[in-house]
């Protein structure tokens, strides 16, 4: 018996689109509608293809560890179409750029994602889990909320996730998680790259997490009027592009959220977390304002200090007082981000020995969004219980 | 007397950022945070600058008439930084691309905007009006609303503008405007390029428009499961990439909106409008379902037919019956899109002579977003009165 394999016929889209007979690869879900490349291979290699007949050299430059470290050289065919397939990639979302004759730009086949301080390309590589996919459950909304910041003298935009029952639950009030992105990203990153709304929709529908509001703001850009910021991303204090971020959160954002949405406006119903730079901001802001927050999460964050008596301005020095106030201190890191994993694990153990209960969570991935999706999936169910 | 001019010192951002002494240009508001280029000159010329030392040729390719027709050649300096300043541009938002050794890609200095079926660069050139700016008025929200489409068998995302008082007005119910983008754009385009929320916020605050909900969906992508769409953008019917759009609107979107939001679910409180291809969809859907819509707006739309007795399936044949049902038929075009302007003006006059009252609105601009912002500013106040 011979097997007759149907020829896969794929519509032409944007000049880039065709697939070979018997090709079992599929367009990445992170593509713009109709774009056939990048494609995901059965072994999770990613095939990139662009049409650049006049270019001398075209490369794919990964913007995260899961796709590889060094640029991949693309190979030109006789018509000027350039192609490369990577080795099997890690599951999850990976930033990348094209280098076209050395010029760093985006792939026309990819949607844009804000990262690396600009719009980037990204490719979604499937995992064997579906906790961050849109499923047949009630869906919450993500609301773009403009508000005036007295601190920075500007209209700012927060992204606010409201759970599925928010508009139909009458006077019911909700706890709030403030959730921050990493360096170079913005308030859309947890929505687009992080899939925050689908993760919460699924957890809430399964009754694994309390219905909650999630607030995301831009932790990269927060300067006072007339200030001359230097080009550095700090933890939200001092003379950097985001030096006024802590003040924005405490003096503008939280009051606006509590007066605009049906929140429970007290510390026991308020959490703060973030990833990477945002983990630093969550620890800085949360630990400095234990009158406002009872839950703090650090996703792939740096560890500031080694001695619990003095680290973080001594907030851990009186373990009993800390324990009384903080319902959850949560540290997470990916195993493939070895230095962060090691530092956070050590800090977790140091804190435990000092009588500070805390959760240490690990997952297999790198310093990328797949780690932070898994983090949120573990962190959110522990809140507001 | 000599004038001592202070040296403008601008922080280095992304390797692209410096401004010359005495330069009165300013970064475009459409840039990513911190990006100093593109810059707007006092005469509304636009200065583009990118760093591409290894490229042989770099051009700026306009994606709309207001910036010019032909690509602008950029000039390389000895370090490989390429610059060009355009002649004075038309006010408003203009799509553009870079051509780097012929490869069409985006400018790292620009935010991304969905147009031309992909992510594009865009530059915002100031106008002498502020009706689409964020002002000190109550702001509504733009909500990303996921819902299941039975027609297409997929989760789809609508963008829903809710007016500022929506969450505090108790049981108050609102009329709904369905508002569509043009070919190659998507449900985010009226929000980002069109500034729909600021236009409505300002009109509602000034009591010039009734508080209303505005719903935007993706009119480019709507096919039934298993259908093999051809790559053509139609008016929402037939065998195209958006051939099932009318069914999505009528059978999935409107029922979802009316069951999810506090709408007044009748024809006298429901409007439909769109621009360019979306104008065709609005006329197609609106005129085919006068039991569902009492207000119809065509922004820079094509005109289908010349005889009111037969055009649009004869809906205008009985003028008295039409007049009784339709509270507003609104046609708009920019003077700088001469063919569209002429066709719509002629159609307006033909309809008037046939006893079909309708509004014809003109503004000075081309087939671009500035025209459609002006259109909405005139159209919205006429609704639901």
Structural domain boundaries of chain B? Answer: 26-125, 141-382
Q: Which residues of B touch A228 (CB under 8 A)?
A: 11
Q: Element (H or E) spanning B353, and its range?
A: helix B338-353
Residue A273 Cα, gap to closest chain B Cα (Å): 23
By C-alpha distance, the chain A residue nearest B149 is: A136
**CATH homologous superfamily of B141-382:** Alpha/Beta hydrolase fold, catalytic domain (3.40.50.1820)
Residue A347 Cα, gap to closest chain B Cα (Å): 35
By C-alpha distance, the chain B residue nearest A219 is: B33
What would the mean pLDDT of A265-279 be, rounded to a whole number? 98
Of A119, A144, A186, the CB nearest to B119: A119
Of A52, A104, A136, the CB nearest to B103: A52
pLDDT at B68 over 50: yes
**Residues contacting residue B6 through CB under 8 Å, at least 6 positions apart:** none
Q: How far apart are CA B265 and CA B276, in angstroms?
A: 27
In the sheet with A75-76, reading across from the earlier edge strand, the strands are: A26-27, A39-40, A46-51, A81-85, A75-76
pLDDT digits over A98-157, tens only? 999 999 999 999 999 999 999 999 999 999 999 999 999 999 999 999 999 999 999 999
Q: At what angle do helices A369-379 and A196-205 cross, to 10 degrees?
A: 30
Confidence at residue B21, expressed as pLDDT on a 0 to 100 scale: 47
Q: Which residues of B touch A29 (CB under 8 A)?
A: none
pLDDT digits over A153-202, tens only? 999 999 999 999 999 999 999 999 999 999 999 999 999 999 999 999 99
Of B33, B100, B230, the CB nearest to A220: B33
Instruction: Looking at A8-77, list the stretches that DSSP marks H as alpha helix, in order from N- to C-terminal side.
Output: none
What would the mean pLDDT of B246-271 be, rounded to a whole number? 98
- Give the tokens for residue A239: 């003379």
Mean pLDDT (chain B, rounded): 92
pLDDT digits over A222-264, tens only? 999 987 655 555 555 555 788 999 999 999 999 999 999 999 9
Q: Could you give phi then psi for residue B320, rounded to 5 degrees?
A: -65, -45
The angle formed by the CA atoms of residues B36, B197 and A278, to the nearest 5 degrees, is 55
Record: contact B13-A102, CB cut-off 8 A = no
Residue A101 Cα, gap to closest chain B Cα (Å): 6
Record: contact B108-A108, CB cut-off 8 A = no
Record: contact A229-B98, CB cut-off 8 A = no
Q: Which residues of B touch A220 (CB under 8 A)?
A: 33
Q: Which CATH architecture has domain B26-125?
A: Sandwich (2.60)
What would the mean pLDDT of B368-374 be, rounded to a whole number? 98
By C-alpha distance, the chain B residue nearest A80 is: B103
Count CB pairs under 8 A between chains A and B.
Answer: 151
Q: How many CA atoms lie within 13 A of A152 on its CB side?
A: 28
Confidence at residue A12, expressed as pLDDT on a 0 to 100 scale: 33
The model's pTM = 0.93
Confidence at residue A226, expressed as pLDDT on a 0 to 100 scale: 82
Q: Which residues of A touch B118 (CB under 8 A)?
A: 14, 32, 35, 108-109
Q: Which residues of A touch B145 (CB under 8 A)?
A: 139, 141
By C-alpha distance, the chain A residue nearest B201 is: A146
The angle formed by the CA atoms of residues A231, A233 and A237, to the nearest 5 degrees, is 110
ipTM here:
0.92
B343 in Cβ contact with B376 (< 8 Å) = no
Of A54, A108, A139, the CB nearest to B101: A54
Of B12, B105, B111, the CB nearest to A231: B12
Burial of residue A137 (number of CB atoms within 10 Å: 0-12, 13-18, 19+): middle
């Amino acid at each position: 018996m011979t097997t007759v394999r149907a020829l896969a016929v794929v519509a032409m889209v944007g000049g880039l689109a065709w697939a070979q007979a018997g090709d079992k690869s599929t367009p990445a879900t992170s593509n713009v509608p109709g774009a056939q490349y990048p494609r995901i291979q059965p072994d999770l290699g990613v095939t990139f293809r662009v049409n650049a007949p006049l270019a001398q050299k075209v490369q794919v430059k990964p913007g995260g560890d899961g796709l590889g470290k060094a640029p991949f050289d693309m190979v030109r065919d006789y018509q000027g179409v350039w192609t490369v397939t990577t080795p099997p990639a890690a599951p999850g979302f990976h930033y990348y750029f094209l280098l076209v004759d050395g010029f760093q730009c985006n792939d026309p086949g990819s949607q844009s994602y804000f990262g690396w301080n600009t719009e980037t390309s990204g490719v979604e590589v499937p995992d064997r889990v579906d906790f961050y996919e849109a499923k047949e459950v009630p869906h919450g909304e993500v609301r773009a909320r403009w508000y005036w910041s007295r601190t920075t003298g500007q209209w700012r935009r927060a992204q606010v996730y409201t759970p599925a029952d928010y508009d139909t639950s009458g006077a019911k009030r909700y706890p709030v998680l403030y959730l921050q992105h990493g360096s170079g990203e913005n308030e859309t990153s947890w929505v687009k790259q992080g899939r925050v709304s689908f993760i919460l929709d699924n957890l809430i529908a399964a009754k694994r997490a309390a219905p909650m509001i999630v607030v995301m703001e831009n932790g990269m850009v927060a300067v006072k009027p007339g200030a001359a910021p230097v080009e550095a991303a700090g933890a939200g204090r001092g003379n950097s592009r985001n030096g006024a971020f802590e003040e924005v959160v405490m003096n503008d954002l939280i009051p606006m959220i509590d007066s605009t949405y049906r929140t429970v406006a007290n510390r026991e119903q308020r959490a703060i977390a973030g990833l990477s730079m945002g983990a630093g901001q969550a620890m800085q802001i949360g630990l400095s304002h234990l009158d406002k927050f009872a839950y703090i999460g650090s996703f792939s964050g740096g560890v500031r200090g080694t001695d619990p008596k003095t680290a973080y301005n001594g907030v851990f020095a009186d373990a009993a007082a800390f324990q009384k106030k903080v319902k959850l201190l949560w540290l997470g890191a990916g195993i493939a981000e070895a230095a962060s994993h090691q530092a956070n694990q050590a800090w977790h153990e140091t804190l435990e020995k000092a009588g500070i209960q805390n959760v240490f969570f690990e997952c297999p991935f790198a310093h990328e969004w797949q780690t932070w999706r898994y983090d949120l999936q573990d962190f959110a169910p522990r809140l507001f219980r």
